[in-house]
Amino acid sequence: MHSTLVEHARCLFGDEYRPTPECGLEHREYLFVEELTFAGADAILAMLRELCPHLVDGRLPVWVRNLAYRLVLLQQPDEPALLREAAQSLWMHGPDWDHVAADLTHRAEALEADRRADGGADCSGHGP
């Protein structure tokens, strides 16, 4: 078994920046998808950032990136930076998902607007 999701993805899909390790394990997409499905957000983000550090690079298939971002956003739905990162990934890989990318960007903007509106008052309802 691979010790990390990054290692599993690197063995299965390769790495643009490092050689693919020879590990002798069975490499099947369904095994990777099972691991990805139940991985925590930190492990998924580590995989995305290590194997695709510039968003437009890397050897992860587009469907893996889309699934990974979807799983991260299910775990951390109120993180504007992650919403924007997922939107950028969708925009980079074709127009089929532009409407979803736009929705993610609008959600990020709405969350930030709500936080700005709530940020000026203390617990008593009075401003600073």
| Residue 89 falls inside a structural domain | yes
Q: What is the pLDDT of residue 1?
A: 72
Dist CA 6 CA 58 (whole Å): 12
- pLDDT of 125 over the 50 cut: no
* Contact between 87 and 101 (Cβ < 8 Å): yes
Counted domains in the chain: 1
Indicate the pLDDT class of residue 123, thresholds 50, 70 and 90.
very low
What average pLDDT does this structure show over 58-65? 93
In a domain, 127, yes or no: no
Rounded distance between C-alpha atoms, residue 62 and residue 93, angstroms: 7
Residue 19 has pLDDT above 70, yes or no: yes
Question: Does residue 31 lie in a domain region?
Answer: yes
Tell me the whole-structure pTM to 2 decimals.
Answer: 0.86
Secondary structure of 5-72 in the HEC alphabet? HHHHHHHHHCCCCCCCCCCCCCCCHHHHHHHHHCCCHHHHHHHHHHHCCCCCCCCCCHHHHHHHHHHH
pLDDT of amino acid 126: 44
Domain that holds residue 71: 5-119
Query: Residues 20-28: what's their mean pLDDT?
Result: 81
